[in-house]
């Protein structure tokens, strides 16, 4: 290096990567070379695992109707953002997240005696809220959480949708 310090990077790190250019006026290639797949981020993988756990959670509470278990889980998922908003510290964010979580509490309460499709709506809707959060960063310092939580929501909603379409009963 020119400032007198020793460069400890390996020769591979100093070698230009295939497909990238440093020529002025040329656009760098941003796509992956053919035949190479990008690995899924860890939050998405763990979100899929927890989405399956969420979907089978009624088995752990066999004395409750499955709809009740799902209805209890929906506001729990939504309430996590209240904690993030408190950590964020801005009052308008705390108020907004509390209102959003409250709407999921109402939807969950209605779903206990209503259609199981309301639970699918709640899970999918919360996944969309996570996607919005991921894009806007409305609540600060949640970088890894929205992809994780959206995956949990959408995997659980997908499994629940499949169960409803297969005729699985959601009442005692």
Average pLDDT, the chain: 84
pLDDT, tens digit, 9 for 90 and up, residues 85-110: 999 999 999 999 999 999 999 999 99
User: What tokens were used for 44?
Assistant: 């998405």
Structure tokens at 101: 């979580």
Residue 170 pLDDT class (50, 70, 90 cuts) = confident
Q: Mind listing the pLDDT tens digit for each residue in 105-124?
A: 999 999 999 999 999 999 99
As a dihedral over the C-alpha atoms of residue 165, residue 106, residue 113, residue 111, rounded to 10 degrees, the angle is 10
Nearest Cα residue to 40 out of 166, 151, 161: 151
pLDDT at 10 over 80: no
Give the pLDDT of residue 126. 95
pLDDT higher than 70, residue 26: no
Domain range annotation of the chain: 70-165
């Amino acid at each position: 290096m020119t400032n007198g310090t020793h460069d400890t990077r390996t020769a591979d790190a100093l070698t230009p990567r295939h497909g990238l250019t440093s020529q002025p006026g040329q656009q760098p290639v941003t796509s992956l070379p053919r035949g190479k797949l990008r690995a899924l981020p860890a939050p998405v993988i763990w979100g899929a695992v927890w989405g399956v756990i969420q979907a089978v959670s009624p088995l752990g509470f066999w004395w409750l109707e499955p709809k009740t278990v799902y209805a209890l889980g929906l506001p729990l998922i939504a309430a996590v953002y209240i904690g993030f908003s408190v950590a964020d510290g801005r009052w308008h964010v705390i108020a907004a997240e509390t209102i959003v979580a409250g709407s999921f509490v109402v939807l969950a309460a209605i779903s206990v005696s209503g259609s199981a499709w309301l639970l699918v709506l709640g899970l999918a809707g919360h996944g969309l809220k996570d996607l919005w959060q991921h894009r806007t960063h409305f609540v600060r310092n949640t970088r890894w959480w929205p992809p994780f939580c959206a995956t949990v929501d959408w995997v659980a909603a997908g499994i629940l949708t499949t169960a409803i379409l297969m005729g699985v009963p959601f009442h005692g």
